[in-house]
Amino acid sequence: IMNIKLARLFEIVQILLTEKKVTAEKLACHFEVSKRTIYRDIETLTLAQIPVYSEKGRYGGIGLIKNFTIDKSFLSQNEQNEILFALQSLNAVQYSKNNITLTKLNSIFNRKADEWIEVDFSRYGENDSILFEKIKNSILEKKVIKFIYFNTKGKKSKRTVEPLKLWFKEKAWYLFAYCHKKKDIRQFKIARIKNLELTCEHFERELKKEDLKNQNNVNGKGTKIVIEVDKSQAYRVYDEFFEENIAKKENGNFEITIEIFENEWLYGYLLSFGEHLKVLKPARIREILAKKVEKMRENYKN
């Protein structure tokens, strides 16, 4: 989001360089944001010592002091790199409105940003790529969305939310949003969102740091688990666990201690190692997995 704001700030300066005055309403319409957001952007530019001014009244508007130009010496080589790389990262997530700004800055700095990053969402399949694009746009444009959501128990519900932030963790995408039904910030797993609809309803809500922190800690402390993994699974062990949690045993196997939230996903993950994993502690999880294995055997008896 900060990179997107940076792109918008530089495009605002470019617009003000070519036009004497522009109204906040016109800028808000151009960027598809609120006038309040534009006024915050103008304040940011002022703090950055860009000579922006605003005039009220019928012929008022936002402008730059006459004869102002963006000189190459205004930004150091490293600062130019940071700006171009930030804009390049937006291209990686298909932020289409970024291309014009990037082209203009390449011209101003007389250079080209390196192709240093690429993001591929194709593994989700075509429909999920479209879903991700819709959610991304709804966050950037601050538009309310509606969708069907399936919780961890498979229960279906209709949700109307104000999308605030996309978050990637533990190999999955999540959406932080203000839920109208729950009247609070909620975390939704993208894979469980179905039939998403964009609405024309605009919102102003911002995600606060304490909201994000509270959601991360919503389930409290995880369960401490000790497992033994066969040495043949070394490639998975070092890919999927932190080195400080891994201890090598005399027989060459790995003893791994982790603290993680206990749910059906965890049981499925442990079972994905098949006969190459054994839970040492706690005994309760050993019993749960043993019952699941027995039920799997029952499924194949006939």
State the DSSP string of the chain. Answer: -HHHHHHHHHHHHHHHHHSS-B-HHHHHHHHTS-HHHHHHHHHHHHHTT--EEEE-STT-EEEE-TT----GGGS-HHHHHHHHHHHHHHHHTT-TTHHHHHHHHHHHHTS----------GGG-HHHHHHHHHHHHHHHTTEEEEEEEE-TT--EEEEEEEEEEEEEETTEEEEEEEETTTTEEEEEEGGGEEEEEEEEEE------HHHHHHHHTTT-S-EEEEEEE-GGGHHHHHHHS-GGGEEE-TTS-EEEEEEE--SHHHHHHHHTTGGGEEEEE-HHHHHHHHHHHHHHHHHT--
Most confidently predicted of 12-21, 153-162, 274-283:
274-283
Between CA 117 and CA 88 the distance in angstroms is 7
Check whether 183 has a pLDDT greater than 60: yes
Average pLDDT over the chain, rounded to an integer: 79
pLDDT for the residue numbered 83: 66
Which position has the higher pLDDT, 223 or 114? 223
pLDDT for the residue numbered 218: 45
For 87-106, the pLDDT digits (tens) are 665 555 555 555 656 666 66
Most confidently predicted of 131-145, 191-205, 274-288:
274-288
243 token code pair: 């080195």
pLDDT for the residue numbered 118: 55
pLDDT for the residue numbered 292: 94
The arithmetic mean of pLDDT across residues 185-194, rounded, is 88
The burial of 182, by beta-carbon neighbours within 10 Å (0-12 exposed, 13-18 middle, 19 or more buried), is given as exposed
For 7-54, the pLDDT digits (tens) are 677 778 878 877 778 888 888 888 888 888 888 888 888 887 788 888
For 115-152, the pLDDT digits (tens) are 555 555 554 444 566 788 888 889 888 999 999 998 87
10 token code pair: 């530089």
Instruction: Pick left, alpha or beta for residue 153 (phi over 0 → left; psi -120 to 50 → alpha; otherwise beta).
Output: alpha
26 token code pair: 């016109």
pLDDT for the residue numbered 252: 94
Helix axes 98-109, 77-92, angle to 10 degrees: 160
Beta-bridged to residue 293, according to DSSP, are: none
61 token code pair: 């508007």
Which position has the higher pLDDT, 259 or 122? 259
Nearest by Cα to 140 from 290, 4, 301, 15:
4
pLDDT for the residue numbered 64: 84
